[in-house]
């Protein structure tokens, strides 16, 4: 995941649940009825977030969840988390040149057809065939799902509004490892004109699909 994000973003990844990882008491409330597997994932991904905080020079802190399950970060911090079978990751940065970011990890396997029908717009079904012809061997349907998950995770902190799968059209650059998401709703406010297209990056490796979206702040602060 680190290669998909700017150098200013601290990234910590785990490929199995971490021995010694813990939850703060305040973090356990939303897990009262969670199964053991879910509790382990929740604990490990928050361990990843605390390791990323340490990389930024900050102390560990509880990572609570908002009304829609979004992580609530310490003041001055923004970020995103993801977990799936065999992978957990957190990406955090200090507020500044980046307005928001989203990451997602998925197993590299086909998406169930019923899920694909809910995720893909009609034009994206055509694109899936084109991408599969250009680069066979990649589960483009699952990659599409992951890209839209990253788009939503970057979108929601800026708008506090729902973004449906049908509200964005994703186009991949199969050879470049990048993608764009054209929004069919008003773009999020980032300090300037709301963007109508969000940009992301992707990779497939070690049985995983990884995607990221970074929304730059506007105007971008001058570099020293």
Per-residue pLDDT reduced to its tens digit, 140-160? 999 999 999 999 999 999 999
Strand partners, 178: 173, 201
Residues 113 and 201 in one domain: yes
What pLDDT does 191 receive?
75
Give pLDDT < 70 ranges for the chain: 219-224
State residue 82 phi and psi, 5-degree precision.
Answer: -150, 150
Residues 44 and 137 in one domain: no
What pLDDT does 223 receive?
42
What pLDDT does 34 receive?
81
Q: Which residues contact 111 (CB under 8 A, 6 or more apart)?
A: 119, 139, 141, 142, 144, 145
What pLDDT does 85 receive?
93
Residues 51 and 122 in one domain: no
The Cα 2–Cα 61 span in angstroms is 22
Per the CB < 8 A criterion, the answer to whether 69 and 172 are in contact is no
**Residue 45 sits in which domain range?**
2-95
* CATH number (domain holding residue 70): 3.90.470.20
Residues 19 and 80 in one domain: yes
| Run of H or E including 80 | strand 77-84
Domain presence at residue 47:
yes
Out of 67, 95, 123, a domain closes at: 95
What pLDDT does 189 receive?
77
The model's pLDDT over 36-77, given as tens digits with 9 standing for 90+, comes to: 888 899 999 999 999 999 999 999 999 999 988 899 999 999
Residues 142 and 178 in one domain: yes
By the 10 Å C-beta count (0-12 exposed, 13-18 middle, 19+ buried), 210 is classed as buried
């Amino acid at each position: 995941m680190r290669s998909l994000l700017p150098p200013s973003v601290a990234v910590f990844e785990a490929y199995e649940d971490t021995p010694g990882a813990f939850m703060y008491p305040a973090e356990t409330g939303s897990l009262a009825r969670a199964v053991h597997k879910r509790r382990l994932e929740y604990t490990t991904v928050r361990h990843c977030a605390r390791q990323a905080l340490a990389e930024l020079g900050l102390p560990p802190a509880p990572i609570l969840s908002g009304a829609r399950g979004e992580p609530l970060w310490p003041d001055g911090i923004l970020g995103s988390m993801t977990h799936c079978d065999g992978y957990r990751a957190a990406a955090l940065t200090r507020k500044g040149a980046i307005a928001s970011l989203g990451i997602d990890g998925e197993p590299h396997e086909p998406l169930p057809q019923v899920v694909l029908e809910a995720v893909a717009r009609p034009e994206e079904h055509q694109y899936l065939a084109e991408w599969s012809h250009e680069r066979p061997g990649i589960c483009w349907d699952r990659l599409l799902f992951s890209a839209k998950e990253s788009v939503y995770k970057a979108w929601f902190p800026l708008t506090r509004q729902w973004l449906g799968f049908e509200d964005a059209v994703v186009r991949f650059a199969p050879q470049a490892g990048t993608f764009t998401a054209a929004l069919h709703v008003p773009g999020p406010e980032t300090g300037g004109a709301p963007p109508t297209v969000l940009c992301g990056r992707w990779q497939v490796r070690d049985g995983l699909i990884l995607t990221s979206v970074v929304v730059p702040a506007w105007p971008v602060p001058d570099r020293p």
